[in-house]
Each structure stands twice: as C-alpha cells, then as structure tokens.
Structure 1
C-alpha cells in the first residue's frame, strides 16, 4: 500500500492510495466546511480521477492523516463515502431537485445524506415541501434530516406513494 499526499490545494490536506483496480482511497481534513459533493468535485479535479472511483472519508479536528487511516481494515469498518449513481425515476428526480441547492461542480451520490450536503433545517423543510409537491407524499423535515442516505429517502418516497 503506497500512500501519497494529495497535491497542494486551497481546500484541504489529505492522503490517498490507489487500489489494484485503480480506485482512490482518500482521507481529507477540510480547513473549513465543505459538503461531501464539493469534496468529491475537488478530489476529482486534483487527482484527475472520475468521482465514482473514490472511496473517502472526511476527517475532523483531532483525527490524524496517517497511512493507516486509509488501510483496508479501516475502510471496511468505518463510514467511508462511496459513490452511487441514482437509479430509477424517483432517485433521479430527487437527485435533480437536490442538485439545485449545490454548487455547479458538486458531485452528488445517492449514498450522501442530508448532513453530507451541509443540510440544515431550511433544506429539510424545502425538501419536505418538494416531496409533497412532486410525489404527494408527506415526509416531515425532521425525518428528511434523519434519513441515512438519499437512496433511503427515495425508498421512503416510493413507499409513501
């Protein structure tokens, strides 16, 4: 396992390694808040790799960027962000709606949750209202915030139809 430092960028220090299938396993420590889709976009540009090829974690203050931070064992046991494209009409429309709240370069995954997106009570309220308008399904804003992933939110929408 050869671990390298992510080249200088104004957003975060980080380390990465390539896997046998040329995916990137990455750990980053943002200097200020960045949503997961924003981190994914920066990584894609800096490492010249397609966003779906990343498995990464965002480290917070107090966590170190050491080689073993991205070992196979740690990746298997900690929450790492994995890219998952939308599937089906509900996931696709939900992703389109959420993408309206993100910067243009952001790369959204159905494994992201509202907290990954920098979600707050206002975003949860907007999504709750959009879900009611688009699919005629009532999901409370607090339930939007608590969902584990956008794929799970889409499943809740489908179940409520």
Structure 2
C-alpha cells in the first residue's frame, strides 16, 4: 500500500532552494520513500539528490529522489496526494528520473568515487550513477581516462567511459583489469 507522507519543515527548506519549485513524498509498502522534486530550472539529478539528502533523514538508502515535470495540485493549490502516489507508482515501474544513493561497497568502488569527487562538484556519488548523468562532458571524460590509467594502472578509453551503464560496472571492470595485470 502506497501512502502520501508529509515532509513539513523539510519540504519548506527544500522549497527555499532556487533549484526546487515544489516537493512531495510518497512511501511504498516496502518502506522506500520517493521524494518527488519539481525542479525550477535545470539541475542534474545527482545535484538535486545531494540537496534532498542533506535535508532528509535518514540517509540509510530508504530515500529515492524522483525528478518530475510537475507536482500535481488541486484548484486550491494544495498538493494532490492521490496523483502523487500515482506518479510514484509509475516511476517504480519505469525508473526514469530516479536518483537513489548507493554507497561504494569495496576498495575499488571507494577509490573510484573519491577520484570522481575530486573532479566533479558533488558531495556524494552513487554507484548507480553513470558519467553522463553526473554531467561529465567530453573534457572530463578524457581527463578521467588519463587519471584512471595513472591511478589504477589500466587503460580505459574515453568512448568506453561514456558507454558504462553505471559506476559499479566501471569499478568491476577496473578491478578485473587490475587482477589480470597483477
């Protein structure tokens, strides 16, 4: 059973940011909370995830930030709870625009995330992110390719970096390449 959840002061703090127009929250039967964000302007999903996770407790992986076109409201301007639930249910089936934080789980993942945090303007990077999602342009990708070679001792071409599905897959590839060399 899905249910609408009041965020009260957290929602107001989020609305106080220029990047957020409106916010709502819905929880599924597994306890996963979908925080629906209607952005104001253009912001990368991971940047909005950082913004939300800085305001929302707990940080234990039960929060998913969902970037939506608009938060449905009733004629009186109040958030339409039933439509928010419907949006979250649809997002769970087709997870486009969902940004969940999944921390690194091993040494290679930790080293990769630390490297990316040096290069990109984020506070946290999820292992489910990919480089284009993080806003890494071709210059960053070329630089990353060189730094991966230097730090990990493996060659990963820029084209390959654009094609990796997520950072967990990239870390696994790096670990496998290092094992073959070592």
Bin the TM-score by the shorter chain.
0.7 to 0.9
2:51 aligned residue (34, 38, 42): 42
2:165 aligned residue (135, 148, 154): 148
Bigger CA drift: 10-19 or 136-145?
10-19
Which structure has the larger Rg over C-alpha atoms? 2
Two-structure CA RMSD over aligned residues (Å): 2.3
Q: For residue 85 of structure 1, what is the aligned residue in structure 2?
A: 103
Bigger CA drift: 138-147 or 13-22?
13-22
- Alpha-carbon displacement from aligned partner over 1:17-70 (angstroms, at most 9, x marks no partner): 2345654212223223333332122112333442633212223xxx33341211
Task: In structure 2, list runs of 5 or more residues that go unmatched.
Answer: 73-83
Tell me whether 1:136 sits opposite 2:153 in the alignment.
yes
Write the mapping of 1:1-161 to structure 2, written as runs, cut at 5 A. 1-4=3-6, 6-7=11-12, 8-10=15-17, 11-12=19-20, 13-19=22-28, 23-50=32-59, 52-59=61-68, 63-66=69-72, 67=84, 68-71=86-89, 73-79=90-96, 80-103=98-121, 106-161=123-178
Partner Cα distance (1:103, 1:119) in 2: 10
State the TM-score, normalizing by the size of structure 1: 0.81
State the TM-score, normalizing by the size of structure 2: 0.73
Task: In structure 1, list runs of 5 or more residues that go unmatched.
Answer: none
